[in-house]
Chain A
């Protein structure tokens, strides 16, 4: 298998965004994943979201670890830098990159093996630091690239393709993020682009760590009857609890909604989210409620999706570190060196 360049085809009728770019300008190389892989749908949603947000591609940085999911940054945003790091350690690289330049849009793509097993520690700590990044877990319950072993997100009692039964409880990244103080916690399904694109947009614009867990079936190793991460199972048990509409800055809200069903939220840049609740008793601003609601419904076999929790008023890594507004990698050297005179003072103080 080698690197495949996607043929550049331009249609005259393609819609352009405010930067004069078409959706093609946000695409990447040809995917080498299996036909029908959920990850490719997420890739398409990412492309759509960046296009619609009018983000210059070079202002995005793509981060990933190892696994099928982590290959996908090669399949979107060809004009953005990307870094495919080591297994489970993408959050650290993203943290360093973000520390160096706070102005870029960081999108991390990981999998359930990468984030919930080998990289659980880094995943947890990047939430604690409230790293300003969108972190997508393409969650399929298996290790695809090594041919179908259970991952830590596999549900109790679910089976492998060959019939082995999983008897260890799953780690739910959504519940984990909520318990760790995550400030943006969402779940989607690769098969629902209508829900996914606004979630990606909201996550990119959130000032802090935005977790987006996306159920993304593995067609080759986990799309069978005993799986709880198959297309069929997910479609049947999927329940959108909070639908998110993304309204860009300075755009009027035209949607009409019934009083009490929508929570409007303004993000730091002035864009707004309309959180439309399908369940009247659900409050996406209450962490404790969110945890018990999701837990309760998981026990009933339901997959609760949507922007499940949001706190838009928290300090990210830069705020807590009190760093200057200018990106650290752009400070002129003259402002970094104390100079020879200071060294003389230091000499005297160490005499």
Chain B
């Protein structure tokens, strides 16, 4: 759907093609932040290789006055800084769009296309003349194209200056060099092109209540606020930045003032098996502890997750999903660990999962995960993904209630133990499947032997069929309790709708945008975004209410749909899959294409 350029103010996509390791990330970030600071909503997506230096990398900025949160699928301005990918970059530009390239060298034949406008700027030449240092020449080329874009798109130079001042507050020389590079690009574009382009920005006031933050940082912040004191991890993309952020916030907020010592302990484990083992040991001992990982880590953690499920030890795990299977695509996004997480480990297990859709929920659900893990005495996996975790999102001001107290669950105190005749670990006194636990070191009467082997409700080893089954059945009841306390689904209803979408996590933005587009076409549909597992009764009710339900998810095998069929009473025929799994974040077009395919099949039948 080609819009005409008149209404492209604050509604377009800039894509920047770079070589990784050249410092482009900070230039692209500066560009996006400048637009954001002008009050215009933005969506930033980073498409980076699993590599440190020399391979193609892209950054995509969607400028969206309507505040959309997904990718758009278009490219209006391509900044082609990587000769290696010229051909591909040229093809990606939407008709009528622009391609900005470095004209220091003769124009590459690959850049030519009749229906787009080429904007050549001798970026390398200008920077070579202006800067003596070799590294600076490379870095400043990126900053110079930001200056050129400022002229072309009418970005407020004062805002850019302000951002640079904030970044380089303590480094005056760098500030001067960066500003010089900005000006080089700005002046060249102003002199050689008609600025601004028909595609440009105009200040708004739609971002004052927002910050730009990625989901991993927000989740780490949630762990700090939840009172987590022990963290164990093994480096793995795309979850590493979560632990980095936790360490950073702890360094700021978790020092004992009198001694400078840490009120936290972060252990870099030898592998993911050890990481989850440490988390289980710390939780068993009464500390709030977590780990962050991705698909391959989840695979390694499964045995321990089964142990914690059966021995009823709390644990919090963040799974920042990436492309699978196996090593898969470490720097791409997917929702393909759903089944692996839901039933991780051998034997009858069912884990509690939380599905955040954005950084705000990463923060909220991180806190919730600790409360639920301790309330339910079981592992809780926060199932995020690379798109949420590593991309910068517009996130509303995070809220915190200072009266919050952690829900430590059913834990007997020293006094309560003193007054007890005998303590038995796995007796269900309250009928909710959740028993009372004790921390080591508190009272000799609270002692029990935690085991992953068959045990009875007294905590003793058993091979007795009745005693063994009694515990398994209670765990199933506990799972029913879990369904009532996990975050409930978010539902959007439309009058007269008989069809609906179900989705979770980062598919949310694409589905919401599709709903708007469909409504404009006269198609009314309902939408339920699932936020927790085991599924609450509302999920069953919602499906029952509709004739047809499109299940939108980012994996090949329709794992969410499989979970719905396994866990609920629904007809397979009723659940129609819309699947996206190429590793890039989902756009609204993917959803609409899926719907149209079904409609086409329907009319053919």
Point out residues on A near B: beta carbons under 8 Å: 1-3, 56-59, 61-63, 73-74, 77-86, 89, 91-101, 103-104, 121-122, 124-125, 129, 317-318, 321-325, 328-329, 331, 333, 335-340, 342-344, 346-347, 350-351
Contacts and interface: CB of A to CB of B under 8 A. Distances in A.
A96 B280 contact: yes
Contacts of B448: 81-82
Contact of B279 (A2, A91, A96, A347): A96
B421 interface: no
Given A83-B281, A324-B263, 9 more contacts: A2-B460, A83-B449, A84-B449, A95-B232, A99-B282, A100-B286, A104-B440, A336-B254, A343-B398
B443 A58 contact: yes
B262 interface: yes
Given A79-B447, A346-B221, A74 B230 contact: no
B277 A328 contact: no
A335 B271 CA distance: 31
A81 B446 contact: yes
B406 interface: yes
Given A58-B447, A347-B211, A100 B463 contact: no
Nearest to A89: B277
B256 interface: yes
B537 interface: no
Interface string B443-454: 111111111110
B400 interface: yes
B415 to A, nearest CB: 15
Contacts of A3: 456, 458, 460-462
A84 B230 contact: no
A186 B448 CA distance: 30
Interface in B180-233: 211-213, 217, 221, 224-225, 227, 229-230, 232
A84 B307 CA distance: 10
A2 B286 contact: no
B404 interface: yes
A172 B287 CA distance: 35
B75 interface: no
Interface in B277-294: 277-287, 289
B106 interface: no
B229 A86 contact: no
B441 A97 contact: no
Given A1-B463, A101-B285, A95 B271 contact: no
Interface in B432-447: 438-447
Interface residues of B, number: 81
A92 B277 contact: yes
Contacts of A321: 262, 265-267
A331 to B, nearest CB: 6
Contact of B274 (A56, A78, A122, A336): A122
Interface string B536-548: 0000000000000
A350 B287 contact: no
B476 to A, nearest CB: 22
Contacts of B4: none
A57 B443 CA distance: 9
B259 interface: yes
A82 B212 contact: no
A340 B221 CA distance: 12
A68 B140 CA distance: 65
12 contacts: A79-B447, A81-B438, A85-B280, A95-B278, A96-B283, A97-B440, A100-B282, A100-B283, A100-B287, A122-B270, A317-B265, A343-B399
Closest 8 CB pairs of A and B: A92-B277, A96-B281, A3-B460, A100-B287, A96-B278, A81-B440, A79-B444, A93-B281
Quick one: which of A78, A95, A342 has the most chain B CB within 10 A?
Answer: A95
Nearest to B450: A83
A121 B281 contact: no
Nearest to B287: A100
A125 B270 contact: yes
Nearest to B398: A343
A225 B230 CA distance: 50
Given A80-B440, A82-B450, A329-B285, A336 B263 contact: yes
Contacts of A93: 277-278, 280-281, 284
A80 B211 contact: no
Nearest to A96: B281
Contact of A58 (B217, B249, B440): B440
B303 interface: yes
A62 B217 CA distance: 36
Contacts of B395: 350
Contact of A99 (B221, B287, B401, B451): B287
Contacts of A122: 270, 273-274, 277
A2 B462 contact: yes
Given A2-B460, A92-B273, A333-B405, A101 B281 contact: no
Given A96-B277, A103-B441, A84 B263 contact: no
Quick one: which of A74, A96, A98, A321 has the most chain B CB within 10 A?
Answer: A96
Nearest to A1: B463
B62 to A, nearest CB: 19
B281 A92 contact: yes
Given A86-B452, A97-B282, A100-B281, A347 B440 contact: no
Contacts of B402: 337, 339-340
A58 B281 contact: no
A62 B281 CA distance: 11
B281 A73 contact: no
B531 to A, nearest CB: 22
Contact of B229 (A56, A59, A331, A344): A331
Given A129-B267, A336-B263, A85 B307 contact: yes
B257 to A, nearest CB: 10
B413 to A, nearest CB: 13
B213 to A, nearest CB: 5
A2 B450 contact: no
A331 B250 CA distance: 14
A62 B456 CA distance: 20
B269 interface: yes
B397 interface: yes
B322 interface: no
A328 B263 contact: yes
B281 A331 contact: no
Given A84-B449, A95-B281, A336-B227, A329 B287 contact: yes
Given A95-B278, A97-B284, A73 B449 contact: yes
Nearest to B275: A92
B224 A338 contact: yes
B278 A61 contact: no
Nearest to A338: B253
Contacts of B275: 92
Contacts of B131: none
A233 B225 CA distance: 59
B495 interface: no
Contacts of A100: 229-230, 281-283, 285-287, 289
A95 B301 CA distance: 16
A94 B281 CA distance: 6
Contacts of B461: 1-3, 74
A29 to B, nearest CB: 8
Quick one: which of B37, B406, B441 has the most chain A CB within 10 A?
Answer: B441
Contacts of B253: 338, 342
Contacts of B449: 62, 73-74, 81-84
Given A84-B452, A100-B281, A100-B282, A324 B261 contact: yes
A337 B213 contact: no
A57 B404 CA distance: 35
Contacts of A74: 449, 461
B450 to A, nearest CB: 4
Interface string B225-257: 101011010000000000000000100111010
B166 to A, nearest CB: 9
A97 B249 CA distance: 23
B267 A99 contact: yes
